[in-house]
Structure 1
Amino acid sequence: QKTITNFFTQALFSFMVYCTVRRLCQKELTELKTWSPRINTTDQKILTHEGEDEMVDMAERFQLRFSELLPERYSNLTFKFRHTATQRTEASAHYFTTGLFGRYTANHVWYPQALDKDPILRFYKLCDKWRHEVDDNPNSLNELAKFKKTNDAVEMTKRVSRRLGLDEVLPYNDVHSMYIACTFETAWTPRIPSPWCSLFTKEDLEVLEYSEDLKYFWVDGYGYEINYKQACPAIGDMIQHLTNTTLPKAVFYFTHSGTLLKVLSFLNLYNDNKKLTADNFRQNKDRKWRVSKIDVFGTNLAFILYRCGDGDKVLTMHQERPVTLPGCPQGELCPLSRILELYGNSVHSCKFNEMCAYSVPS
């Protein structure tokens, strides 16, 4: 897969090659012609300063909401933190703990040995069947490939090309590179408009957004059963902590987009109950599966246990907002007993090694 730096380089190359003296706006044209990437190859896949601040702020908000559960004094008996063997999750954990305990204490938080192929935080790295049949399989992107050739996608590339004053139509992938530059730069520096964003209308962005949703629907979401069924170890770990009456009181995991999307799908959240395909873009304008909302930078999923007089109950939060798990009472805390009914069988029958075993076709 291309890195974000590759995307930026390709976007700039495409613009410089195709751009002519014809243009709609001199100011925007100048900004694009003088644009240069704000990062370099050494910065790829690391947490940005914006991400650092986001983790600190998020921790402070959680602590404000759940002050009894999240005291400012750190104890490795009360708190459990865990991240994968990547700089961005390690840094996310560090800055999150900074928000909870302050800079000094954050430097003394204990973490277990980080694993690249963590069976809970990155279970898909251990799932050979998913890797061969989905992640590394070009057929998984068939719907995306078909969508790029639809009238909606072709017309979008024509509009962008006309906006640039071009005599020929930009390839879809070049326009997509510009879209990626727009989205990432907006996330990194929201107060500084990205010149790439000026190329797109709302209609254009809806088309490009759908292409992203198609990709992740089939690779990480409801497209294939193996995508979400393999998340059973992570759900089992969550249930184990909810039913454990001993310490720690608070458990925080720092993981990846691929994990969160599979877990959300296992929980049956944001399920439109129909496949996203190349030919139903217009019918899916109000879809629930919208990665730009459910899997943004800093995406978080929380399960908070309440000891109530009529039994233990669970508040589920996604993006710091309460969500109702399908099968739970709408707008209420979900009884822990109901959580066990909904997911207990899948967890108890979780045969991860068996479902993820891959046999090379003869």
Structure 2
Amino acid sequence: MLRESVLNVVCAGVQYFLFIFYVMKFLIMTAMCFYVKTVLTLDCYWNSGCKYKYFSSKTPYEIVRGDIRDSIVKQEGCETISVWSIFRHGKRNPSSKYATDIQYILKYYKDFIVSSFEIGNSSLCAQDVENIKNWKIDTKMLDEPNEISSEGYRELFDIGSRIKETFPELLSKLQENEYKFQPAFGSRIEESARAFAEGLDDCNLLITKIYGDYTYVAPYSICGKYQIDIRNNPNVYHEAEVYENTEEYSNMRERVAKNLGLNFVPSSDNITAIYDLCRYSWNGILHQPSPWCAVFTAEDLKILEYVGDLRHYYRNGYGASQFSNTLGQLPLSDLLRNFEQSKRGNGKKIVSYFTHATMMDMIVVVLNLYRDPTPLLGSYRDLNRQYRSTFLSTFSSNLIAVLNRCRKAHTYDYSVSFYWNEKPLKELCNEGTCSWQEFENIFKPFLNATDDICEFKWTKLD
């Protein structure tokens, strides 16, 4: 009897222990599920307070710009007598090729993303999926390839307004001989110039169109050897293609497939098309992120940004320096000539050129800005690289130079302040402001620049 009682007590104890064990296990699993669910909710794109918004050369200007009104260098006893600037056109619509790829995504992916979530295969958050489902495309984005968007027009208009507010006395009631606004080829360039002039608060300002002569605004466009050796040479994108075959890039594609609940891995072209939906429909002016960016993690977006860096680096930048370092000098020689004339009292109050990303990339090379000690490679992504197309040739990117005249006893002294995207270009001279002698030392060699490297004129403008 005693032995049987002892066994009963032991069995009861074991059962109690097992009961407690399973209860604890249930509570722990429930807590873990709640924790995971909470983490996922906090990690949603729609309520993320720190979204990655750098999209290579398709970044809205509002995301990277400074403000010339705040950053302008003010020197005691000095006045501004001339402003020279060069701008990339404002945000535009994708080209016809990429517009077709985007249409494919909208036709075959959008509904699949929603249905995949509804059956529990997707890792996206409910609100992010709902935002994609309810998103309506601006038909102009696909129906008017390469044309400037309303946001792009506003980018240049606002820059003009800020410059007018910074130099109100200099830029009021401009006479025809006191300014020059010249666009390169393309309606989006001409519209950008018109928006800028409108932003200066004077609808009567004229735009100078010189068809066929793009010496200062787009010399590469008529440079035969550059067009053959670089622009129309598919090998230029070799490093970008190498990167798209790396494990890092492949993992990104697989991550996107898993997040969307796809039973296949999207091609690089389809990844790019979704990326284009993300960046072209991100509105910088209204500070409205695109719901399509929810498809990617921040790391995914950094990987895609690097593809853009490689393409720009080898097409227009340091990877094509034999052309960039020559053609990029031509507009900068015009800058020196204009400021020399202004010193003599017969220069223009404002000169503004409007161009493409290619020209901005080339100017970066000529001024030796943001140059890495080793070339960018497809086999390795340097997280600390200086060359970032997001900040160098984004929509409406610009170089602004300001000539200041300062009274010194019975004479005048001159200085030149530089701004990149309305921020002081601190890499030049003293925090971005050069004495006249320093300015001459840097820019005088550019007066010898020619387009002899081109060998023949290219007439098929793209």
Q: CA deviation at 1:131?
A: 0.9
Gap change, CA 1:191 and 1:346, over 3 Å in 2: closer
The whole-number CA distance in structure 1 between the counterparts of 2:238 and 2:353 is 33
Is the CA contact 2:101–2:269 (under 8 Å) kept in the aligned structure 1?
A: no
Is the CA contact 1:154–1:172 (under 8 Å) kept in the aligned structure 2?
A: no
Partner of 2:361: helix, strand, or coil?
Answer: helix
Q: CA deviation at 1:8?
A: 1.9
The whole-number CA distance in structure 1 between the counterparts of 2:280 and 2:212 is 25
Is the CA contact 2:283–2:289 (under 8 Å) kept in the aligned structure 1?
A: no
The whole-number CA distance in structure 1 between the counterparts of 2:286 and 2:249 is 27
Partner of 1:206: helix, strand, or coil?
Answer: helix
Out of 263, 267, 285, the residue aligned to residue 171 of structure 1 is 267
Over residues 251-275 of structure 1, what are the superposed CA-to-partner deviations in whole Å (9 max), with x where a residue is unaligned?
1112211111111221111212321
Q: Partner of 2:351 in structure 1? A: 251
Out of 372, 390, 399, the residue aligned to residue 272 of structure 1 is 372
Gap change, CA 1:14 and 1:295, over 3 Å in 2: farther
Q: CA deviation at 1:77?
A: 1.9
How many residues align? The count is: 348
Q: CA deviation at 1:35?
A: 4.6
Gap change, CA 1:62 and 1:3, over 3 Å in 2: farther
Out of 151, 162, 166, the residue aligned to residue 61 of structure 1 is 162
Q: CA deviation at 1:332?
A: 5.3
Q: Partner of 1:90 in structure 2? A: 190
1:139 paired with 2:235, answer: yes
One-letter amino acid matched to 1:61? R
Gap change, CA 1:85 and 1:199, over 3 Å in 2: same
One-letter amino acid matched to 2:186? T
Q: Partner of 2:292 in structure 1? A: 196
Q: Partner of 1:119 in structure 2? A: 215
Partner of 1:247: helix, strand, or coil?
Answer: coil
Over residues 276-333 of structure 1, what are the superposed CA-to-partner deviations in whole Å (9 max), with x where a residue is unaligned?
111220xx2122211112222221111111123373211011101110344x2x3252
Q: Partner of 1:8 in structure 2? A: 102
The whole-number CA distance in structure 1 between the counterparts of 2:283 and 2:374 is 30
Q: CA deviation at 1:175?
A: 1.1
Q: Partner of 1:351 in structure 2? A: 450
Q: CA deviation at 1:190?
A: 4.2
Could you tell me the TM-score, scaled by structure 2's length? 0.70
Q: Is the deviation greater in 25-34 or in 6-15?
A: 25-34
Partner of 1:67: helix, strand, or coil?
Answer: coil
Q: CA deviation at 1:114?
A: 3.6
The whole-number CA distance in structure 2 between the counterparts of 1:99 and 1:289 is 31
Question: What is the Cα-based RMSD across aligned positions, in Å?
Answer: 2.4
The whole-number CA distance in structure 2 between the counterparts of 1:289 and 1:70 is 34
Out of 318, 334, 354, the residue aligned to residue 237 of structure 1 is 334
Q: Is the deviation greater in 89-98 or in 216-225?
A: 89-98
The whole-number CA distance in structure 2 between the counterparts of 1:148 and 1:44 is 26
Partner of 1:234: helix, strand, or coil?
Answer: helix
Gap change, CA 1:15 and 1:147, over 3 Å in 2: same
Q: Is the deviation greater in 59-68 or in 210-219?
A: 59-68
Q: CA deviation at 1:228?
A: 3.1
One-letter amino acid matched to 1:243? E
Out of 294, 299, 324, the residue aligned to residue 392 of structure 2 is 294
Higher relative contact order structure (alpha carbons within 8 Å, sequence separation ≥ 6)? 2
The whole-number CA distance in structure 1 between the counterparts of 2:393 and 2:304 is 16
Q: CA deviation at 1:172?
A: 2.1
Q: Partner of 1:314 in structure 2? A: 416
Is the CA contact 1:120–1:234 (under 8 Å) kept in the aligned structure 2?
A: yes
Q: CA deviation at 1:50?
A: 1.4
Out of 401, 408, 421, the residue aligned to residue 303 of structure 1 is 401
The whole-number CA distance in structure 2 between the counterparts of 1:150 and 1:100 is 48
Q: Partner of 1:159 in structure 2? A: 255
One-letter amino acid matched to 1:248? K
Larger Rg: 2
1:184 paired with 2:184, answer: no
